[in-house]
Structure 1
Amino acid sequence: MVRMMTGLGAVVLAGMLGSGAALAAQQNPETRNIEEVPAGSYALDALHSKVTWGVDHYGFSTYQGQFTGITGSLKLADDPAESQLDIEIPLDQVITGSDLNEHLQSEDFFNTSAHPTATFRSTSITMEDDNEATIEGELTLNGQTHPLTIEAEFNRAAVYPYDKNYRLGFDGEATLTRSHYGIDYLLPEGDDDMGISDEVELDIEAEFVPNQE
């Protein structure tokens, strides 16, 4: 009888564990379709997010740098097109691997003493398919605000094995015209039209986790 009860208990326990795992999978589905991700508030994971920028450097190369320490939130709606994205970039967290870091914070470029952060707030999201979207929004940089379009791709949602947190991953691309924000240092000029390009290409990598607040 004891052996029978022990066996029965094992079966019940296995069933409970199995149903618990199934419930967890329903609540935190592994998917590449954004429409299958649970709606809610998600916080940007600064450790796994960055913005890489690139400019043409006198026709010689594409010079790149990065912004790190980014914060933000994604309020994911049941209809992803109704979601809200807000991002804040600390401009003193620019990385170039050279002394240019300090120059970029001067009045020639970001003027971080007066405008320490850049912000992006979405105004509309158009879903192109299950994992691609066009995000229209407003970028505030150097005290000026202008429209910016991000072409975004949803990569995956799943439980991250190292911290057991549910996580969403995205990539994005955008192009801004720096002179629109009053950043006109070394713009191309003269007969050869050489300088640092007015257009700045942005490559965005972002991961979000459920907001704990």
Structure 2
Amino acid sequence: MEESIPTCTAFAGHKKIAAGPVVEVAGKVKRYQDKNPDAQILIFDDSSSQQVELDLRGTVADVLSRIPGNQDPDQEKSGPGRPRLGVVSREIGLLPRHWDWLALQPGGASVTLRKLVEEARKQNRSKDAMRQSQNAAYKFMSAMAGDLPHFEEATRAFFAKNRSLFETLTAGWPKDIRDHALKVGELAFHDDKSANP
């Protein structure tokens, strides 16, 4: 399965100023900031609503050169976990009996753990997608709409999966904020059976 390119959305206040892959957004944000130096700009990852931090010093080329993954591959530092293959080394804690069981599996602990994780991901795909959508929308709304009218009631409607009430309560919100909350929270309104991405 092909991995999609991560995207993000940038806001200056309640106005959306850019959306798309982080490299495209970074260039647009830098140009916007150069024209509007006092603008308060926030950038959100579209899948998680984590805020994306960009170093906007220097020229557009300077900004783009500092984006992870946008550097010359020959300059990338290699480290544990074979990062060029997408494998990342992290520490996990297991009980001795777990390590003993993993040691007996064909391919060893790493291969067995990857297989177990992939199997669990397939089995829980729709629930995970719905939960991720719910978390992303709530995180975005908390950051951008917490002071807007009916925020608490809209949040309750959102978690109750009452889309029509949510849309009614957010009708007075700035259009870009409302539209983005609906976009990132789309799967959260679905039931478990229809939440497949």
TM over 0.5: no
So what's the TM-score if we normalise by structure 2? 0.21
Counting strand residues as a fraction of each chain, which structure ranks higher? 1
Counting helix residues as a fraction of each chain, which structure ranks higher? 2
Which of the two has higher C-alpha Rg?
1
Higher RCO (C-alpha under 8 Å, 6+ residues apart)? 1
